[in-house]
Chains A and B, each alone.
Chain A
Amino acid sequence: MNRRGQGGRINRGQPLRFTFDGRSYQGYDGDTLASALLANGVRLMGRSFKYHRPRGVITAGSEEPNALVELRRGARREPNTRATQVELFDGLEARSQNRFPSLAFDALGVNDRLSSVLGAGFYYKTFMWPAAFWETVYEPLIRRAAGLGRLAEAPDPDCYDKGTLFCDLLVIGAGPAGLAAALTAGRAGARVILADEDFEMGGRLLAERLSLGDARAEEWRAATLEELRGLTNVRLKTRTTVVGAYDNGVYGALERVTDHLAAPHPDLPRQIFWKIRSKRALVCTGATERPIAFGNNDRPGVMLAGALRAYANRWAVAADRTVAVFTNNDDGHRTAMDLMGQGADVGAVVDVREDAPRLGDYPLFAGAQVVDTAGRLGLKSITLRRADGSTEVVPCGALGVAGGWNPALALTCHQGGRPVWRPEIATFVPGETLPERQLVAGAAAGVFSTHGAVSTGVAATVAALDGLGIRTTPPDLPRAEDAPVNIRPFWHTGEGRGRSWLDLQNDVTVKDVALAHQEGFRSVEHLKRYTTLGMATDQGKLANLGALAVMAELTGKSIPETGTTTFRPPYTPVPIAALAGRSRGREFRPTRLTPGHDWAEAQGAVFVEAGPWLRAQYFPREGETHWRQSVDREALAVRSSVGICDVSTLGKVDVQGRGAAEYLDLLYANGMERLPVGKCRYGLMLREDGIVLDDGTVARLAEAHFVVTTTTANAACVYRHMEFVRQCLRPDLDVQLMPVTDAWAQVAVAGPNARKLLQRIVDPVFDISNDAFPFMACAAIRVCGGTPARLFRISFSGELAYEIAVPACYGNSLMQVLMDVGTDYEVTPYGTEALGVLRIEKGHATASELNGQTSATHLGMARMVSANKDCIGGVLSRRPALSEKGGFRLIGLEAIGTAELAAGSHLFEDGAEKTPAHDEGWTTSACYSPHLGKSIALGFFERGDVRWGEVVEVANPIEGASVRARVVSPHFIDPKGERLRG
C-alpha cells in the first residue's frame, strides 16, 4: 500500500529498505520510521503496556507515547525507542513490543477484557491471599506480564563520551524563534550554541505550509541556516536534546552521534553527553499538541491533528485516503486544509464550538463531539454526536484530534519553578521564577503565531545580550502569520460505552481519574502515583493537563488551583552509559602503575588491584601451581635470608618549614616535635572523634625537613586532612606540604641479610652498619655510584629491614640491581600476599584493623596517644567508650588443628550459642603462617589483653564453618623485637 503523495522533505533519489516485524518495506532518506511505516500503510505499531490494546503512532515528535519499537540486534538491542525519532537508514531493523505472539494477534489482549478488575491501583487490592502464592504464583506471573520492552542482557559494546561546551547564548530549539534568535546573536558576534533534538533544524517550519515575507518558510529557513553555518562564533548541534536546566546556567544535553548510521566508524562514540555552560540561555522549545479524551480514542489511526499535517507536509504521507478532524480550536481546521491540499478526502471536521469558523470546503459539524470509534486493529469510522443529541457515523481511516497546544516548558521548571495558567489561551506558560539567566520565546512562552515566535525570539536575544554588554542590531523580520488563538477549553466527552484514554503509555483512563478521586487521592501528586498517569517514559506529555482538568472538574476547583506535578530532568530518556561516558569496565577508574611494574611483569608476577593501583601479589616460580606455594616460599625466604618488595604505592608527603615539627606534633597522636634529625618514628593519626584514621612513618631528614608516609588506600584523604590542618587550623605556622608519592620509587629490603645486601649498592662513603645506622634511622644517601636515594630503617615484617627510595625513573632498575647483587643471598622478590603474611605474623595493624571503628586503646597503643599535648583526636580518644578497660583489644589467634581461620569471623566462648548476645569479637586478618605451620589471625576480642590462653570458637556462619583457636599475643614472631635491632 502506498500512501505517499507529492512534495515533502524526503529525498526520493535515495530509497532505503528497512524491516518492521520481519517484513520488508521501502522508505526514503529524510523519513523517520514512523513516517515510512505510515507511507506503507502500516498503522498498527504496538500494543499498550497494561491492556495490550492495538496502538499506532499519534504524534510526529519526541512526545510520542505509543509507537515504541525495539531496534538492532544482539548486544546493541535497545527497547522503547520512539519511532517518530528514529531516522531511517538502509538496513534498519525494527520490531514492535509488548505483544505475543504477534502484533496482530496478542494473547495478553485478554487483559483488555478484564479492565474492570485491572483498573488504577488494582495491585493494592489484590495478590494478597493466600500469602504463600505471592512468591510462587503472583510474582512470577506479574514479572512475565509486566515491563515495557526487553533489555539486551549483554554488556553495551558501544562507547560513549562526555564533554563541556561554553557559550554566551545557548538557544534551545531551532524553530522560527530559535533560528531568529541565533541569527541575531550570531551577527552580533556572541558565542552561540543552537541545539535541536531533530536531525533537521527548523522546528514547525518543517511541518507547516507557512510563508515568511514573500518567500516560503523553507527559503527563509535555508538562508538563515546557511548564514549561521558560515559564522565561526556559532555552533549548530542537531540530534541534540537539551534534557535539563541545572544551577548556574549549566545545561545537560544528549547528542546522538551514530544512531542514524548503518555502519558507524568504530572510533565514534555512539552518544555524547554535554555539559553546556551558558552565560544566557533562551528556551525556544515550542509547544506540543494535546488530545481530547473520548470513547475508544486510542485506535491506530487516531492522531494529533498537528501530527497528521506534519506527516502530510514534511513527509508527503496521507495517513489515509479519508480523514476526519476533531477540534476545539482554529488550528484543527488547518489540518483539514493541508490534507485536502495533499489530495485526501475530509469526511468531517467536528468542532465543539457552536460558532466554529469555516476555513475551507469540508463538511463542518459545529457544536458537535466525537464520542466513539470503530476498527480494532485500525480506525474504520468515528461516531459523532451533534448538539441536538443525534449521532452520525463517518467512515475514515485517520482522525486528527486538536485539543490545544501546551508550551514545552519543562526546562523553565527544572529548578522548582511552577508554570502559570493563562485562561485566554487555555494553557500553562512558564512562571515568573525562571532558572537564573534563562529567557523564553515563541510557542514555549505561549506566543503561538509565527510572527510572534520570530519577534519574541529576537527581542529576548537583544535583552539577553544586553545583559552581557553585547550590542545587537535586530535583523529585518519577514512578515509572517499572526493568527490569534481561538480555543474553547474542552477535555473529554463524558461517559460513554468506550473508555476514554488519557495516558496512552501507562493505559490510564478518565474513569481511573474518577476512581482516584473517589478513593481520596485528589491532589495531583496522589493522582499521579495512584494511577501512574504521567510516570511512563513520555512523562505524561500528552496526558497531564487532561488528567488534572478532569480532577479539577471532580473537585470543583479551577485548573490553576489544582496545579501541576514537579518537572524534573531529563526531559527525554538518557542512557546511563551516556552519563558514564568513558568511565566503564577497565577504564572505570584510571590504573596507576608503580615504578617497578614492568620489572615485576617481566618476572611473571601476578597482579592485584589495590584501589587504582596494580601491585604485584606474588611471583610464581616454575613448577608452582598454587598461590600458597609461592606465598609460603616468599615469606620463608624473607625471614631466612632477604626479600625485596615494591612499596612505592604508600603515600608520601614532603613537609618543610620552621613550624613543621610543631605541625606534625598536632597531626599525630604520638610526639613528633622532638624527633631527632636522622630518625624515623611510627606515626599514629587519629580522627577528631578519637578513632584511628591512618598510620605511617615520620622521618626527619633535617631540622625543618620531614617526609611522612601514609597507607596506600588513605594517601589522598590523609593529604587532604593535612592541608586542612595546615590551612584551616594552623595557618600561622610556617609549613609547606608537597605530595611526592609518584616522585619516589620505594623498595622494602627485609630479612637477616638485608644490611649486607644494601651495603653492596650504597656508595661506600655512607656507613650503614648497625652502630652508625641503628633501628629507626633515616638519611639521604647515594647508591650505585651517585644516584640520590633515601634510606629508612623501618620494618613492617619484624625482620631486620629497610626501605630504600630512589627517584621513580630508577625504580625499575633498582629491583633488577638488587636481584643481581644478591644472588648469593638468594634474594627473593615478594608481593602483597607475602607482605601480608609477614605483617600478620608480626602483629602489625593495617587497614583491616584500622577500619574506622577502632581506637588506639583497642589496638593496644593507648600509650601512644600523648596526654601532654594537643593532637587531632586526643580529647575524644579519652572518651570512656573508646578507652575503657573492659573494651575490645587486639589479639592473635592460632588455629587448633589444620582448619583455616577466616577474616570476618566472629568470636564465641567455646560451646556458646551463636547469637549476637554471645558475640565477643571478630577477626580482621587471617593467613597461613609457614613459620608457625598453622592458620593464624588477628582480631578484636572483649578484654582480649587479659585472656591469652583461652580457647574460643572462630565462627563463620555464612559459610557454615567454625574453627577452634587459642587466643595469643598478636605478635607471633619475635615479640621482643630483637631481630629489628640486630
Chain B
Amino acid sequence: MAKYRLTPWSPFGQDSAAAEIGPFALMKPDLALTSVAGVSGTDVEQRLADVLGARPPGPGGFVQTGNLGCFWMGARLWMVFGSRGTCDDLTERLETAMQGAAAVVEQSDGWVGLDVTGQGVSGAFERLVCFDIHEMRAGEVQRSVIEHVGCIVFCLAPDRHMRVLAPRSYARALRRTLVTCLKATLALHTDE
C-alpha cells in the first residue's frame, strides 16, 4: 500500500523521559486526550456522563472510571483522557456521543505528561507551583504555571504521586525544571 509511513516521535526525542533522583522518579504516562467544549443550552453534561459512566466533574476535580478520566478546564469545558492503546478512538467516540452538542477537539499530541512519584514530592512542588500543594487531595486537579509554563497538575496520591501536563513544545524545558527541583529537594532534605 503506502510506500512511506509516518512514525511517531517522542517530545523528548531519543532520550527517555524517565529519571530517578533519590526516592523520586519521573515517568511519562502515555495519554490520549480530547477536549469537549459544550454549547450552551444543550445536554452536554448528560452526554458526557453517558460516555464516562459518571457525572463530569466541577472546578478542581477529576474523575476516573474504568480506563477513562475527565477533568474540568473551564465553563462547560472538559478534557477527557485515557491510556493510549486503549483509547485511540477517544475523539471519534466523543464526536459520536456529542452529535453537535459540543466542539470536540483531538488534544493527545498537544500535551506532554510527566508523573512525579516518591514520598515527599510535595516538598518539591512547594517550589514549583503557586497554590497550596499540601492541601491537594487525590482526585484534585489545578491549572497553574510552573516557571512560566502553563501546566495542569493532578494529585493522584497526596505527597506521593503528582502528574503534570504541559503543552508539548515545553516538554524538555519542563523536564529540566522538574529534575533540577527534585535534586534540590533531595539535597535540602538530606541537610535536615
**B173 contacts the other chain (CB 8 A):** yes
CB nearest to A743 among chain B residues: B110
CB nearest to B108 among chain A residues: A807
- Give the secondary structure class of B's interface: mixed
A933–B140 CA distance with the chains assembled, in angstroms: 62
Asked if B180 contacts A582 (CB within 8 A), the reply is yes
Asked if B2 contacts A257 (CB within 8 A), the reply is no
Q: Quick check: which of B46-54, B56-64, B123-131 contacts chain A, the rest being far away?
A: B123-131
Asked if A742 contacts B168 (CB within 8 A), the reply is yes
Whether A807 touches B127, Cβ cut-off 8 Å, given contacts A267-B183, A738-B37, is: no
CB nearest to A785 among chain B residues: B2
Whether A738 touches B6, Cβ cut-off 8 Å, given contacts A593-B172, A743-B109, is: no
A784–B2 CA distance with the chains assembled, in angstroms: 6
Query: Which residues on B sit within 8 Å (CB–CB) of A591?
Result: 172-173
- Contact for B103 among A595, A654, A744, A784, CB less than 8 A: A654
Asked if A590 contacts B148 (CB within 8 A), the reply is yes
Q: Quick check: which of A46-54, A108-116, A812-820, A943-951 contacts chain B, the rest being far away?
A: A812-820
Smallest CB–CB gap between B171 and chain A, Å?
A: 7
Smallest CB–CB gap between B154 and chain A, Å?
A: 18
CB nearest to A716 among chain B residues: B150
Asked if B9 contacts A590 (CB within 8 A), the reply is no
**A275 contacts the other chain (CB 8 A):** yes
Q: Which residues of B (51-93) have their CB < 8 Å from a CB of A?
A: 77
Whether A812 touches B103, Cβ cut-off 8 Å, given contacts A736-B37, A820-B4, is: no
A165–B129 CA distance with the chains assembled, in angstroms: 10
Asked if A740 contacts B14 (CB within 8 A), the reply is no
Q: Which residues of B (146-192) have their CB < 8 Å from a CB of A?
A: 147-149, 167-174, 176-177, 180-181, 183-184, 186-188, 190-191
Query: Which residues on A sit within 8 Å (CB–CB) of B4?
Result: 760-761, 784-785, 817, 820-821
Asked if B171 contacts A657 (CB within 8 A), the reply is no
Query: Which residues on A sit within 8 Å (CB–CB) of B14?
Result: 598
Asked if A593 contacts B6 (CB within 8 A), the reply is no
Whether A582 touches B147, Cβ cut-off 8 Å, given contacts A743-B168, A784-B2, A785-B1, is: yes
Q: Which residues of B (126-141) have their CB < 8 Å from a CB of A?
A: 126-132, 134-135
**A566 contacts the other chain (CB 8 A):** no
Asked if B184 contacts A811 (CB within 8 A), the reply is no
Interface residues on B, range: 35 or more
How would residues 231 to 265 of chain A score, 1 for a CB under 8 Å from any chain B CB and 0 otherwise? 00000000000000000000000000100000001
Smallest CB–CB gap between A461 and chain B, Å?
A: 21
Asked if B39 contacts A657 (CB within 8 A), the reply is yes
**A734 contacts the other chain (CB 8 A):** yes
**B105 contacts the other chain (CB 8 A):** yes
Q: Which residues of A (259-295) have their CB < 8 Å from a CB of B?
A: 265, 267-269, 272, 275, 277
Q: Quick check: which of A18-26, A156-164, A306-314 contacts chain B, the rest being far away?
A: A156-164
Asked if A598 contacts B13 (CB within 8 A), the reply is yes
How would residues 487 to 516 of chain A score, 1 for a CB under 8 Å from any chain B CB and 0 otherwise? 000000000000000000000000000000
Q: Which residues of A (765-820) have their CB < 8 Å from a CB of B?
A: 783-787, 806-814, 817, 820
- Contact for B126 among A164, A265, A761, CB less than 8 A: A164
Asked if A808 contacts B103 (CB within 8 A), the reply is no
Most A CB atoms within 10 A — which of B105, B135, B180, B186? B105
Asked if A734 contacts B39 (CB within 8 A), the reply is yes
Smallest CB–CB gap between A868 and chain B, Å?
A: 29
- Give the secondary structure class of A's interface: mixed
A741–B10 CA distance with the chains assembled, in angstroms: 17
**A920 contacts the other chain (CB 8 A):** no
CB nearest to A649 among chain B residues: B169
Smallest CB–CB gap between B145 and chain A, Å?
A: 10
A795–B57 CA distance with the chains assembled, in angstroms: 44
A811–B171 CA distance with the chains assembled, in angstroms: 15
CB nearest to B148 among chain A residues: A590
Query: Which residues on A sit within 8 Å (CB–CB) of B186?
Result: 267
- Contact for A742 among B6, B110, B128, CB less than 8 A: B110
**A321 contacts the other chain (CB 8 A):** no
Asked if B170 contacts A743 (CB within 8 A), the reply is no
A275–B77 CA distance with the chains assembled, in angstroms: 31
- Contact for B169 among A277, A592, A760, CB less than 8 A: A592
Whether A164 touches B129, Cβ cut-off 8 Å, given contacts A265-B187, A784-B6, is: yes
Smallest CB–CB gap between A200 and chain B, Å?
A: 16
- Contact for A784 among B5, B129, B148, B149, CB less than 8 A: B5
**B16 contacts the other chain (CB 8 A):** no
**B106 contacts the other chain (CB 8 A):** yes
Query: Which residues on A sit within 8 Å (CB–CB) of B167?
Result: 592, 741-742
Smallest CB–CB gap between B136 and chain A, Å?
A: 11
A598–B14 CA distance with the chains assembled, in angstroms: 9
- Contact for B8 among A267, A275, A763, A809, CB less than 8 A: A809
Asked if B103 contacts A166 (CB within 8 A), the reply is no
Query: Which residues on B sit within 8 Å (CB–CB) of A590?
Result: 147-149, 170, 173-174, 177
Smallest CB–CB gap between B45 and chain A, Å?
A: 15
Most A CB atoms within 10 A — which of B103, B171, B181, B187? B103
- Contact for A810 among B6, B110, B129, B148, CB less than 8 A: B6
- Contact for B188 among A268, A583, A593, A613, CB less than 8 A: A268
Query: Which residues on A sit within 8 Å (CB–CB) of B35?
Result: 738
How would residues 205 to 218 of chain A score, 1 for a CB under 8 Å from any chain B CB and 0 otherwise? 00000000000000
Smallest CB–CB gap between A508 and chain B, Å?
A: 41
**A589 contacts the other chain (CB 8 A):** yes
Asked if A807 contacts B129 (CB within 8 A), the reply is no
- Contact for A812 among B9, B132, B135, CB less than 8 A: B9
A216–B147 CA distance with the chains assembled, in angstroms: 48
Query: Which residues on B sit within 8 Å (CB–CB) of A761?
Result: 2, 4
Smallest CB–CB gap between B83 and chain A, Å?
A: 16
**A594 contacts the other chain (CB 8 A):** yes
Whether A740 touches B7, Cβ cut-off 8 Å, given contacts A272-B127, A590-B173, is: no
Asked if B108 contacts A763 (CB within 8 A), the reply is no
CB nearest to A659 among chain B residues: B39
Query: Which residues on B sit within 8 Å (CB–CB) of A593?
Result: 11, 169, 171-172
A808–B171 CA distance with the chains assembled, in angstroms: 12
A773–B137 CA distance with the chains assembled, in angstroms: 53
**A656 contacts the other chain (CB 8 A):** yes
Smallest CB–CB gap between B71 and chain A, Å?
A: 15
A657–B105 CA distance with the chains assembled, in angstroms: 12
**B111 contacts the other chain (CB 8 A):** yes
How would residues 637 to 668 of chain A score, 1 for a CB under 8 Å from any chain B CB and 0 otherwise? 00000000000000000101110000000000
CB nearest to A597 among chain B residues: B13
Whether A810 touches B127, Cβ cut-off 8 Å, given contacts A265-B191, A268-B187, A657-B103, is: no
Q: Which 6 A-B pairs have the closest CB atoms?
A: A785-B2, A743-B110, A656-B103, A163-B127, A590-B173, A736-B37
6 A-B pairs (CB sep. < 8 Å): A587-B173, A590-B148, A591-B173, A598-B13, A784-B5, A809-B9
Chain B interface (Cβ < 8 Å from any Cβ of A):
1-11, 13-14, 35, 37, 39-40, 77, 102-103, 105-111, 126-132, 134-135, 147-149, 167-174, 176-177, 180-181, 183-184, 186-188, 190-191
